[in-house]
Amino acid sequence: MARILITGGSGFIGARVAAALAARGDTVVSFDTVVGPEIASLAEANGRVTTVTGTLTEWPHVADAVRIAAPDAIVHCAAVVGVVNSLASPVTTMRVNVEGSLHVLECMRLFGVRRLVNLSTEEIYGHFTADLIDEEHPCRPIAPYGITKFAVEQLARDHARTHGLECIHVRTPWVYGPRFPRPRAPMTMLDAALAGRPLHMARGGDFVVDHVHVDDTVAGILLALDKPDHRYDAYHIATGTMPSLAEIAAIIRALVPGSEITVGPGPYYFGDKVAAVRKGALAIDRARAELGYAPRHDIRSGIAAYIAEAVAGPR
Ligand SMILES: NC(=O)c1ccc[n+]([C@@H]2O[C@H](COP(=O)([O-])OP(=O)(O)OC[C@H]3O[C@@H](n4cnc5c(N)ncnc54)[C@H](O)[C@@H]3O)[C@@H](O)[C@H]2O)c1
């Protein structure tokens, strides 16, 4: 049974990682600025799950969390997430994502924690140069979000090299599932469909990007966490496919009878303002070969699972 510190344990992915670790008997400490409802009920139900409140930007808060947790490894989910948020608050994004992650790395060095699984993103690549890319694709991030997330990877590589840490970067594309915290497709479409509201997105139908169900993301994180030795320090935890938003809208219409979800052609704009860069699919050959990762869901079965869970309520 391992002891795992999760930064961002109140978040969409972090809370789900916490639940999966707790279910297999690990001891989990969540560090976050807030205590969200999922982690709160998990902690109430399971004596091996605790929460520590603090911010990544305050070194003593991070040091306290690492000291209290005395973890075997850290799963680093906390961040200012998303292109729109990062453009709205570039300085905070820099502080939380870069300075905050350095606090985590420095605490690992000082408290003798060897392994980090860091949640990274396809935004570190910038414009994809092909429809299907692997982990060796050049990293030319564009928005503060991707720039800071790439900086975290590079700083972690430096800490790994100079201080003997093991920092593994799980690069995920668009993760979807119930309780996604930002207004983005497919959640916006699904919320409308399930509420019986018609939704027409004026543009974005031609935009393609790999979409991974949150349960597959969590499975990949746990595989990276558990593998004793890594030959690589970065893995795509994705599906290797690239549904368009028009295809996703059609799947939702088929799965939610009577739903009126449509999307016009053209590129996607975050928050209806910021054009998304060219994206595509993330090859998962490395994760398959090295981690034994095999996503359970394609986009259709993932959306069906999302709908089933949203209808049934929190599990
Ligand atoms: N959801 C996606 O589609 C996606 C895609 C690629 C990568 N990621 C990465 O996965 C990770 C988790 O993303 P998510 O979707 O769960 O986001 P989220 O916003 O739900 O979770 C982030 C958590 O970090 C916490 N946090 C923010 N600032 C903090 C601070 N200063 N100190 C401590 N905690 C702080 C928030 O309170 C939140 O609970 C992030 O690192 C993100 O970059 C997410």
Q: Whose CA is nearest to atom 2 of ligand 1?
A: 175
Residues with CB under 6 A from ligand 1: 8, 10-14, 32-34, 55-57, 77-81, 96, 100, 119, 121, 149, 172, 174-175, 181
DSSP 96: I
Q: Whose CA is nearest to atom 43 of ligand 1?
A: 81
Q: Look at residue 315 in the predicted model and tell me its pLDDT.
A: 60
**For range 56-76, the mean pLDDT:** 98
% of the chain surpassing 70 pLDDT: 99
Choosing from 13, 52, 91, 148 the residue with most ligand 1 atoms within 8 A of its CB, the one to mutate for a pocket test is: 13
In 56-114, the DSSP E strands lie at 73-76
Which phi and psi angles does 127 have, rounded to 5°?
-65, 125
Q: How far apart are CA 100 and CA 102, in angstroms?
A: 5
Per-residue pLDDT of 169-225, as tens digits, reads: 999 999 999 889 888 889 999 999 999 999 999 999 999 999 999 999 999 999 999
Distance 18 CA to ligand 1 centre (A): 14
Under the banding of pLDDT at 50, 70 and 90, the label for residue 134 is very high
CA angle 107/142/286 to nearest 5° reads 65
**Domains in the chain, please, with CATH?**
3-176+211-238 (3.40.50.720), 187-208+241-282+299-312 (3.90.25)
**Cα atoms in the Cβ-side hemisphere of radius 13 Å centred on 91:** 0
pTM of the model: 0.97
Under the banding of pLDDT at 50, 70 and 90, the label for residue 1 is confident
Q: How far apart are CA 26 and CA 47, in angstroms?
A: 11
Residue 314 clears pLDDT 70, i.e. is over it? no
Q: How far apart are CA 259 and CA 59, in angstroms?
A: 49
Distance 265 CA to ligand 1 centre (A): 30
